[in-house]
Amino acid sequence: MNTIYNQASVTIVAAAGESASYGLPGVGQRPRMIPSKFTLGGRTWMFRRRLIKHRVDETKWSTRGWTYQEAVFSRRCVIFTDDQVLYQCGCMTCAEESIEDVSTSEREGFPIFERMADRDSNPRQDLPRGRRFMRDLEAYSKRELSYDSDVLRAMEGVFGFYAQLQPSVEQYWGLTLRWIGCKISIQGSEDYDLARSKHDDIVGALLWAMLWEPSWSKIQDIQTGLVKRSGFPTWSWAAWKVEVRWSYLTNLEHLEKNFKTPLFVETTAGGIVEPNDKFARSLASGKSCGGLGLSHILRITTKVVDLPFIERTPYRPTILYNSSASYPHIQKGQHWVTKDERSHEANWTHFLVEKNIGAGRGLVWPLDLTHGGVTSSSDLAFDTDTDTIKPRPLTLRCIVIGHDRGMIVQSRNGICKRVGLLRFEGGFFENGRVLGDGYGYHDDREIWPWTASVPSRDLRDHFPGVERTVRLG
């Protein structure tokens, strides 16, 4: 589809209505709403409307997964809305309601959507185009699909575009296999020079790409949880109906001294294949994983730590800028889970690992839950039918897949399924409070002097693990 849209002289975008059968307003039988305006004293007056980009963003067309490629690959777009026609190309963005002459409709800073071709005009030519890969995935993950099975198919044009770049960015089940495709830095080209030098580190890039997180942009996502797509591996964002995000790799030592562990892909015939440069390039052939004889099961040999998780009421921070503010309302992270549809703070819980260091004090590691909401509690075998939070610990397995984070999994029929992520650096707690001001700006030793005597906050120093081979699906 990238070739079709890119080579077309113009793409007609049907952005009006709720379905594909709505038609083009002003064409045929579909009427359109004419914006009100009048002339007084030689001047034309009209109601000032919001930016056309914002109006298009709110259309049903902008929420459809299949139209993402239509937006980013088309060279010129004529966009039909209910009340007017819009136009965008590489030189201008304009609308019928604009009074200015067309010659003044320059593309300043408000394109309706960013096109792939626009990225060539970036003055920072030293930065590779592949660096946008994860941002495209983040933008696409906001969209909806009628059929879950289309989640990767609707991005095949984008995947094909990145695979033919130099340096190339191939993907496996929607995750990049090249460091160039990761969100390395917002700085200069030096960081990407390092990423280029690691171009053949397929395993390292894949492991880091697996550290995606739900963005939780909507509170209802936290309350109701996520819906899983069947037929996709839980380690891929494609398995979950949620907007996702990746953090920037701000610690470049983690790239320079990339995390290494044996990782193989299981084949449909029962064998294993090493993810290397040849493996990555084979995925750019256009054949499906099944056609290449590849399954979605990963076989990883790494340190494994079995951790006792408990469910408890949220800790409160030691300092709040607004003393009347509720901590759960300020910081609703991925590990927050509501026990019913109300958002009152008493109904919020989280899952965590605690290590006591004295009476009522110690270290805590919260779980960043992949599938939040009530359903997650039942999946984790926690009691959600009563208002009583049970302190009974539940043992979950943490597999180390990075320098600073691990993936929390549950095993079913010999296959480990992703539950969430956990950062190895813990926080301090004392008498139901955690150190912090709600924004993370504090000095632990000034508030609680006893924290200075704790030699390590790394979970692996308190819960030693063993090396195992796990099958992740």
**What DSSP letter does each residue of 44-94 carry, written as one string?**
EEE-----HHHHHHTSGGGGBTTHHHHHHH-SSEEEE-SS-EEEE-SS-EE
CA dihedral (257, 263, 264, 266) positive or negative? negative
* Closest listed residue to residue 173, CA positions, set 296, 277, 274, 265: 296
User: How distant is the alpha carbon of residue 72 from its chain centre?
Assistant: 19
In angstroms, the CA 460 to CA 423 distance is 11
**Most confident option among 286-290, 331-335, 338-342:** 286-290
Q: 381 pLDDT band (50/70/90 cuts)? A: very low
pLDDT at 133 over 80: yes
In this structure, of 145-154, 210-219, 302-311, the range with the lowest mean pLDDT score is 210-219
- 371 vs 326, more confident: 371
241 has a pLDDT exceeding 50: yes
How many Cα atoms sit within 13 Å of 109 on the Cβ side?
A: 0
The amino acid occupying position 304 is V
Torsion of CA 445, 448, 454, 460, to 10 degrees: -100
Per-residue confidence (pLDDT) for residue 219, from 0 to 100:
45
Euclidean distance between CA atoms 471 and 235, whole angstroms: 11
pLDDT at 382: 40
Strand partners, 415: 412
Mean pLDDT computed over every residue of the chain: 80
Per-residue model confidence (pLDDT) at position 112? 79
Which one, of 391, 349, 389, lies nearest residue 369 by Cα?
349
What percentage of the chain has pLDDT greater than the value 90?
42
Position 117 confidence tier, pLDDT thresholds 50, 70, 90: low
pLDDT band at 34 (very low <50, low <70, confident <90, very high): confident
Q: Between 348 and 267, whose confidence is greater? A: 267
Question: With 80 as the cut, is the pLDDT of residue 84 above it?
Answer: yes
User: Could you give the dihedral angle defined by the CA atoms of residues 368, 223, 241 and 405, in that order, rounded to the nearest 10 degrees?
Assistant: 0
User: Does 198 have pLDDT greater than 80?
Assistant: yes
- Give the separation between CA 83 and CA 26, rounded to whole angstroms: 9
The stretch 164-193 carries a mean pLDDT of 86
Cα torsion 240, 469, 254, 362 to 10°: value is 80
- The pLDDT of 150-171, averaged and rounded, is 94
